[in-house]
Structure 1
Amino acid sequence: MIENRKEEHIRIAEQKEVTSSHNYWDDITLVHRAIPEVDFDEIKTSVAFLGRKLNYPLIISSMTGGTELAKKINRNLAAAAEKFGIGMGLGSMRAAVEKKELEDTFSVINDFKVPMKIANIGAPQLLKQGKPAFTNKQIDEVFNLIDADFLAIHFNFLQEMVQPEGDRNSKGILKRLSEVASSYPVIAKETGNGFSHKDALNLIDAGVKAIDVGGLGGTSFAAIEYYRAEKVNDREKMRSGLTFWDWGIPSPASIIE
């Protein structure tokens, strides 16, 4: 069941080492300005991003949902987003589409005054897989469930290839993305493997409002799926998880591209 998978993802991330072998942000050195020409007391941290005012240039990126544990996590994150006046995304809301009883694990964000709320569905779900593709009505339901400001569409095709129950079809995704982006303010999001320059240009042509590069250098979903495969002794998926544990474009490189 989908809620079991979401629970496994959280528990594995808590209990196992699932980060990439190198944090590429550690390779970045900020340039010192010996002559800053600013008055420190005049510095403001607030920003306008995509038409929304945030107290800090920060957004809690999409993480989880679909279980009672995820509901608790989302409640805590939403409370923090309200306190600091920053944006927040939710994890894949596929669970809310497939099981209405799981909606509150996402809609808990509505209990807080979050200045930018980002709904979230997977790019694979926009296409026919083992199940029919999401309809416009289902996308509407996800968007309206949290009165979202933006719709994140996450691109996790590598994870899907490693995942035992993964959705492997990506043919036609840019066409479908363009259709969705014509009706919703879309943020394209990777989930740990980054976007190349060419991919970013394709996303812009499809009409997305922003790109969350989500590159290599943090949590590896291939690693998480490795441990799920290990639990059921699926050696093929274990090999795939190990092979792609450190696969992707590092976040700093993806941003520069």
Structure 2
Amino acid sequence: MADADLVASIRDYFDLNSYEAKVWLALLGRGIASAGELAELTSVPRSRTYDILESLERKGLAMMRLGKPIKYIATNPDEVIGKMKKQIELGLAERARRLDDMKGSNVWHDIVQLYSKGIKKVDPTQVSGAIRGRHHLHDQFEEQFKNSEKEILIVTSGIELNRIMEYHHAALKIARDKGVDIRIAVSKDGLTPKNLELAKAVGEVRHLVDIDSRFVLVDSRELIFMLLPEQDIHPSYDTGIWIHSPFFAEALKVMFTRQWSEMKQL
């Protein structure tokens, strides 16, 4: 029987359930085997083994041998990786196409109308929330940058600006091209020359000194501020507070502008 840690890893990497992982590992070890043989090797109920092998075949992890008795052959793991990557790419492309198609449909019209009606009933003080996980924070940054109309203010570290340029340079460039004023205040720790030049290509960049802060402010109404320095927290637990409040955002902009006038241009 396969090692429990190996089974757990295979489940995670290949998106399999416990029985599928056990049967596939046993089949890899045998090369070719019948459902009965695999049931005996893995202690998976024989009645389930047939369904599991069919599932592994659909996923490209096994092939049914022609002839009698029915046996299955393990697929080379190198081939499996290629097949699964292709399936994922095709699946994502199809989902993206369906989402694009939905935007012009009656379904899209209905949910936009529902949101428009619902948001009118929400107290402005309740339009806020916590965003946990660095990748979720960057997803929100991307939406803010794409929806910006007048101004983007970014206060960050050099290391984080590297990521912002890597993930969002295209969105910031589009914002700049449509006339959005972009100002970036950054501490230089870890900032690469390449990403500094990319940042200067989309906006004005100045040196942030003696202030350890991380926030993104858009159009004097929408703000995300992070709770901790990035070096103090694992990316999965990096947390930002999203606030939609013109009153608070405008006050923060005034303070930013005062500090901005004293910063040196990079």
When normalised by structure 1's length, the TM-score is: 0.29
Larger radius of gyration: 2
Task: Determine which structure has the larger helix proportion and give its number.
Answer: 2
**Higher relative contact order (CA closer than 8 Å, sequence separation 6+):** 1
When normalised by structure 2's length, the TM-score is: 0.28
